[in-house]
A = this chain, B = another copy of it.
């Protein structure tokens, strides 16, 4: 992972339940975000329920700044996103989380200070807070049912932030390239099975034998076998032969 110390501040505006503040802290820290700002928390600050829910992500709460207005919370920022489910009448760009976090990375690279606003659980951000923002982030959800809470929304924004610095490959084989069986090893395994199955009378009737052998060769090449897998197949076949020999 590339390191990037600069990061967006997550601003919770008038959060109601301490549990949700704690849950947002955990969501953030999973994705390397640890700068929380809180505006007018309903139940005061510090909040023991937030601490209990944050659990091992408590250091996000310890470092959180508390402000009495949204304007004060973003006073030092140069670009502000507002998260909202409903599109308001305000003339303002509306972005997906992915696009918005891409923009956040680019602006931070230019030296800008970014904040992302999250509204209170019941009502969401008020229009006056949205008017402060440069752009709206709206998470696309099903048209039939859309109900993301504060912690879920913070999780998705954090996920998209992190996805753009994370360099995890889309897919890894689960084993090293050197462990993949070579074509020669596959060929020897196919030979081993073909010769023993020949002895066992598997390729019957004679007229179909060539086709059956071809199918079997094709099957072996199609399987994503490691060198260890190949040894297991050799071992099972040898054991079957021993078993047969004991029976004679």
Chain A interface residues (CB < 8 Å from chain B): 1, 26-27, 29-32, 55-57, 87, 90-96, 98-99, 136, 138-148, 151-152, 155-156, 159, 162-163, 166, 168-175, 179, 226, 228-229
Contact = CB atoms under 8 A, between A and B. Distances in A.
B95 A147 contact: no
Contacts of A156: 155-156, 159
B30 A172 contact: no
A44 to B, nearest CB: 26
A92 B174 contact: yes
A142 B171 contact: no
Contacts of A173: 93
A30 B170 contact: no
Contacts of A226: 91
Nearest to A144: B32
Contacts of A229: 91
B148 A30 contact: yes
Select the residue from A1, A92, A169, A174 with max chain B CB neighbours within 10 A: A174
Contacts of A169: 96
B140 A93 contact: no
B140 A163 contact: yes
A140 B162 contact: yes
Given A31-B142, A148-B30, A156-B155, A91 B168 contact: no
A116 to B, nearest CB: 16
Nearest to A151: B152
Contacts of A56: 145, 147
Nearest to A139: B159
Contacts of A159: 139, 156, 159
28 contacts: A29-B142, A30-B142, A30-B145, A30-B147, A56-B147, A57-B145, A91-B175, A91-B226, A91-B229, A92-B174, A93-B174, A94-B171, A94-B172, A95-B170, A95-B171, A95-B172, A96-B168, A96-B170, A98-B163, A99-B170, A138-B168, A142-B162, A151-B152, A152-B152, A155-B156, A156-B156, A156-B159, A159-B159
